Amino acid sequence: MTEAEIAASTPAGVVKLRRTVAALIVLFAIALSVQTAREEKLPVLGLFVMLMAVALFTNRAGRFLRDWGLVVLAFVAYGLTARAVPDLGLPVHYMPQIEADRVLGFGSLPTVWLQDHLYDGATGPLEVFSIVMYASHFFAPLLLAFLIWAVWNRRGFTDLLFGLLAVSILGEITFLLAPTAPPWLASDHGLIPQVHHVIKQGLYDVGLTELAGRKDDPSSYNVVAAVPSLHAAWPTIGLLVIHKHDLPRWLFVAQALILAAVVFAIVYTGEHYFIDAVVGCAYAFGAWWLLHAVLRTGRRHQNP
């Protein structure tokens, strides 16, 4: 039986009960997200529970658990890896990114130029927007995956999941073997002109003092993981998935705007050099090629 036939044959009382439970789960997800936000943490778990409630409401809970189990494991693994602070005694690279950005910026560093022209030391709409786009790294791929899963019948869902996994693994290997410093850290060491800690200051200004205290703290997360920029790599994978699977043009345009906004935000706030974003996009294309090369090899073995 198809999903539509199963839904049509389900007793009305069961449907009402399922939707009531889904509504209760939504309330739980909201409460969980609010509490997480009060603790000044990203409410990713609350968002996931909300998506599960939507799946239950539409009678696809079993399919959701089956398809999204690997997604949960992948995000947990990424979170654990991102928090790791490698201590292998390897030197941190500062100058290559600076020199490359001076070339791309025609003699000026894009981060320094943007802050000189746009930042006045206060947290305004532009800074809040930049913080949101920086944090979208943890939400936007999840929402895109859910849209693909729920609206377009999983078209490209597997490619998106494994594309994100592949580029993240390649990135984490690079972070481990070649630690690289972001602009704010180079500025703190006097290697480039002053770069303001826009996100850290912005978090203080909006009242997220605990989260602001952890920002830029090497004991909290790996601060020497600038190249490649996974902030740029992840939305690039999304673009490749949307293009390959011929998803709606508006979705492609929206994803392209997200990528552009994220690149602006990470460069403006001093979290990445522009070259970090360029390399991040290159890593995304490399991971995409590698993923499909493996798939082609697997198909050849299946069909000799």
Q: Mind listing the pLDDT tens digit for each residue in 274-301?
A: 999 999 999 999 999 998 888 777 566 5
Per-residue tokens: 221? 């997360």
Q: Is 102 exposed, middle or buried (0-12, 13-18, 19+ CB in 10 A)?
A: middle
Beta-bridged to residue 93, according to DSSP, are 180
pLDDT for 173 equals: 85
CA 46/CA 133 separation, integer angstroms: 19
Query: Tens digit of pLDDT for each residue in 211-259?
Result: 889 899 887 788 898 999 999 999 999 999 999 999 999 999 999 999 9
Look at residues 129, 108, 114 and name the one whose alpha carbon lies nearest to residue 262: 129
Q: What is the pLDDT of residues 168-183, one digit of tens each?
A: 889 988 988 899 999 9
**At 180, phi and psi to the nearest 5?**
-135, 140
CA separation for the pair 151, 60 (Å, rounded) = 12
Nearest-angstrom CA–CA distance, 231 and 209 = 23
The pLDDT score that the predictor gives to residue 270 is 97
What backbone torsions phi and psi does residue 93 show, to the nearest 5 degrees?
-90, 125
Strand, coil or helix: 73: helix
pLDDT band at 76 (very low <50, low <70, confident <90, very high): low
- Cα dist from 301 to 159, 292, 296, whole Å: 20, 14, 9
HSE, CB side, 13 Å, CA atoms: give it for residue 303: 4
33 touches 26 (CB < 8 A): no
Lowest mean pLDDT among 82-91, 206-215, 272-281: 82-91
SS3 93: strand
| DSSP-H helix ranges across the chain | 3-9, 12-38, 44-57, 61-83, 95-104, 110-118, 125-135, 140-150, 157-177, 183-188, 198-205, 209-214, 230-244, 249-268, 274-302
- Provide the sign of the torsion angle of the four alpha carbons 41, 128, 82, 282, taken in this order: positive
In this predicted model, what pLDDT tens digit does every residue of 21-72 receive, in sequence order? 777 777 877 877 777 766 666 676 677 777 777 777 777 767 777 777 766 6
